[in-house]
Amino acid sequence: MSLAMKAIAWIIPLVWLPLFVNGANPLSPVATEAEPDPELEPVLTAEILADTIASPIRAVLKDTPYEPGALIELATQLYARAEFQPLWEQKIDDLATRLSRFAEREGVSPIGQASRDELMRALESTELAVPAADMATTVCVLDAGLRVRFGQVRPNELWAHWDRGDTPGSFDNETRLDDIHQQLNAWQTTGNGLEFDNLLTAFVPTHWIYRQLHAEWMVRKETAAAEQESFAPLPELEPGKYLRAGDGFASAALLAGRLKEEGFYDGETPESTVTKELSDALLLYQQAHNLKADGILGPDTHAALNRSPARKLELVHLNLQRARLMPDAPGKRYVMVNLPSGEVYGFNGPKLEVSMRVVFGKSGARSTPLFRETMRYVVFRPYWNVPDSILQGEILPKVARDPSYLSRNGYEIVRSFDWNARPLPLSRSTFWALKDGTLKIRQTPGRHNALGAVKFLFPNDHSVYLHDTPEDHLFSQSERDFSHGCIRLEKPAAFAEWVLGPQGWSKDRVAQAMRRGSRNSVTIEEPIPVYVTYFTAFPHPETKEIRHYFDIYGRDDYEAKLVKHRASGNQVLIAKPIAQ
């Protein structure tokens, strides 16, 4: 007998033996299963409940500013925590009125009565294990809350890249659930309207930008109508006209009053001349609003001062919507770039620790994308790996006219962007290999390098990063959209010291790493979230005052109309500007 047959002969008795030992004869007919007890119901789980309510909720809430799956998940988990018992045993007086008042206070519109009735009918047509009315109440409350949290439009309709990639500080459902459940239990215990309001408040964003914009919006809502009636715009300037100190201006008194309203002038009212005091006040206003700071009344400053109260209310409301995209917990230390103000800010908790001007992507095809990622590396004396678009569109035409262009500007021809790649000489064959993309070029470290002496990497799909620059003169401009998309820093050494300070890097050590030596990549031990944002009405981190900035990428009108359309229930998209 073979070894295999012997093994089978040993295994078969071992398989059958337990059946005989337990008193069962494997050769006897198989007993039929007992009939199920009709009194026993299947065990309800969150998954079963979610499957049951998914279809009616998605059928009614078709065009929500949030993914309906988020509401379904919140609802099922709330019932699971309550062991699938009704959540609303206490009667809610004027539920629809309460929800509408809550939503409108935060600048959004909840679902209407017709949708609520449709939701109730859809839920009643399912085999729900909880009362349909109870579930309908839960859905309406969560819908109002999620609209407050996410606003009138979905994030990708405003900032298309915001929820792609690393997305630091994303909405934390579990934390939100804990808060909601705690408030729900308090309300069920007391039946007090205050606890119900607290339950709704659990959805309100708590980030400082949202809080301060919301406070401004609440004030402007009350005053805008009266202010609009009395608003007198400054007369239009003649084409090419600029008003300096000493120039005659029939509306000088109106200009002084406007600057006084903005908090920049407290002098005497001039009659018909732009006085030195008025010019000084214009300078302060321009500095605060990222305008060309020259004390001269020109077209940009004139347009900013002529924003009506109604327009300011609209812009604060739009930026309140944008503020909802910022997470409540952005990170222990985090970096925020605001393109309209042309600045970058480094925070440690609520404290602003570093800020400076930035140069960013040119409006149009080279505009800097709005996104969030995590900073992980600081690279001193970096190579600049030239993007193919710049190579083909800008550099190779210059090389064709002047073959010494590459060597004079510190460029190398390489097969790859590995930091230790060996450079190749310029020749006819390497030139054509550059043309067809087989070879690449990079710029060596040094004063000539377009990235300066340091860059800060937060790996992303856009190849955007923060970096030094040899073109310091651009930081004095009021409109600083000059780059191909990356973000240049006014004070890169101070920024590097802030980023690496917790790792023991001093000012002198940073300066030494930037001045001499070869390429040096430093890993950030506690990676730092980076948020590249777009706020044209913005509570400036240094003063906490709401400042209005020039809409450099032309996004405001389209996005304000979009928010208004969504608030009215209109789901038809209007045409985007070409620059979007």
Amino acid 380 reads F
Structure tokens at 545: 């005052």
Closest CA to 156 of 143, 167, 142: 167
Which pLDDT does position 188 carry in this prediction?
A: 61
What are 263-269's contacts with CB under 8 Å, separation 24+? Answer: 263/545, 264/288
Which pLDDT does position 302 carry in this prediction?
A: 93
User: What is the maximal distance between C-alpha atoms in the chain?
Assistant: 121
User: Phi then psi for 136, rounded to 5 degrees?
Assistant: -60, -40
Structure tokens at 556: 């405001």
Instruction: Return d(Cα 143, Cα 568) in angstroms, integer.
Output: 16
Structure tokens at 240: 């090419």
Q: Can you list the residues of the chain whose pLDDT is less than 70? A: 1-42, 90-93, 170-181, 183-195, 569-580
Instruction: Please report the DSSP string for 289-333 in residue order.
Output: TTS--SS-B-HHHHHHHT--HHHHHHHHHHHHHHHTTS-S---SE
- Helix crossing, 252-261 with 276-288: angle to 10°? 40
Cβ within 8 Å of residue 489, ≥6 positions away: 344, 356, 358, 466, 467, 468, 469, 495
Which pLDDT does position 24 carry in this prediction?
A: 43
Q: Are 200 and 104 in contact (CB under 8 A)?
A: no
Q: What is the pTM of this model?
A: 0.84
> Taking the alpha carbons of 451, 455, 460, 464 in that order, is the dihedral positive or negative?
negative
First vs last C-alpha separation in the chain? 80
Which pLDDT does position 149 carry in this prediction?
A: 87
Encode pLDDT of 25-46 as tens digits. Answer: 443 444 445 555 555 555 788 8
Instruction: Return d(Cα 536, Cα 556) in angstroms, integer.
Output: 8
Residue 3 backbone zone (phi > 0: left; psi -120 to 50: alpha; other: beta):
alpha
Structure tokens at 554: 């032309």
Closest CA to 137 of 116, 151, 121: 116
What are 466-470's contacts with CB under 8 Å, separation 24+? Answer: 466/335, 466/337, 466/344, 466/358, 466/495, 466/530, 467/382, 467/492, 468/492, 468/514, 469/359
Encode pLDDT of 297-309 as tens digits. Answer: 999 899 999 999 9
Which pLDDT does position 106 carry in this prediction?
A: 92
Which pLDDT does position 11 carry in this prediction?
A: 33
Instruction: Return d(Cα 125, Cα 112) in angstroms, integer.
Output: 21
Instruction: Return d(Cα 121, Cα 136) in angstroms, integer.
Output: 9
Q: Are 417 and 439 in contact (CB under 8 A)?
A: no
How would you classify the pairing of strands 440-443 and 384-385?
A: antiparallel
